[in-house]
Chains A and B, each alone.
Chain A
Amino acid sequence: AQSVSQHNHHVILSEAASLELGCNYSYGGTVNLFWYVQYPGQHLQLLLKYFSGDPLVKGIKGFEAEFIKSKFSFNLRKPSVQWSDTAEYFCAVIDTDKLIFGTGTRLQVFP
């Protein structure tokens, strides 16, 4: 079965710093990948998703992710973070119609 690894458990940045959160999935073939964000006290929201095509995926709020098949990776990036990006970020992959989530990365952005 698929699994997802997120190696950054807690990231602390200052506003305007660049962000990259790592995500690796366990095996290849056709994969459908997602990044979700959970702001404090709010529901999980979809940031972006990859099904096929252009490996560089643009999402909401200035986020993007790059699918690198040879590295089994789908890292999330943002060139300049804001205080409002403070949240928990989850990478997920589809496995037989269910989402498999990573353990999440807690991002704290300080003004």
Chain B
Amino acid sequence: DAGVTQSPTHLIKTRGQQVTLRCSPISGHKSVSWYQQVLGQGPQFIFQYYEKEERGRGNFPDRFSARQFPNYSSELNVNALLLGDSALYLCASSPPLDRANYGYTFGSGTRLTVV
């Protein structure tokens, strides 16, 4: 059990549609990050949220957005889906930001297929 829960596990969408992915961090973790893992590549950073505020954004178009809720759970939204958005979307949670104790724990991911 990873401790970070993501839903749904699998999703098939059509080009042009919109999708929302959800993540619940480990209890006590206040930071949530989103990563995209395309087949054959390493995960790429999309967003980081801490205490409900965006703390970092990767090189992704504005079609990608996210938010963090008061209970520290998070949603990733992708609008106007493209075939190239097909990937495994990973959520990672970590304790309060502390450079001496980085502990990123990943969820199992949501496999998004765009057809």
Contacts and interface: CB of A to CB of B under 8 A. Distances in A.
A56 interface: no
Contact of B42 (A32, A46, A101): A101
A19 B107 CA distance: 27
Interface residues of A, number: 24
Contact of B45 (A90, A98, A104): A98
A98 B60 CA distance: 15
A98 B42 contact: no
B73 to A, nearest CB: 17
Contact of A42 (B4, B56, B102, B108): B108
Contacts of B45: 98-100
Task: Give the interface residue-count category, chain B.
Answer: 20 to 34
Nearest to B3: A43
A97 B56 contact: yes
B106 A43 contact: yes
Contacts of B48: 97-98
Contacts of B63: none
A103 interface: yes
Interface string A2-45: 00101000000000000000000000000010101000001111
Nearest to B107: A43
B102 to A, nearest CB: 6
A49 B105 CA distance: 13
B43 interface: yes
Contacts of A92: 42
A103 B108 contact: no
B35 to A, nearest CB: 8
Given A43-B90, A99-B45, A104-B40, 11 more contacts: A34-B104, A43-B2, A43-B4, A44-B90, A46-B104, A51-B102, A98-B58, A99-B35, A99-B92, A101-B44, A103-B41
21 contacts: A4-B42, A32-B99, A32-B102, A34-B102, A44-B106, A46-B103, A46-B104, A46-B105, A51-B102, A96-B56, A97-B48, A97-B55, A98-B56, A98-B58, A99-B33, A100-B45, A101-B43, A101-B44, A103-B41, A104-B41, A104-B42
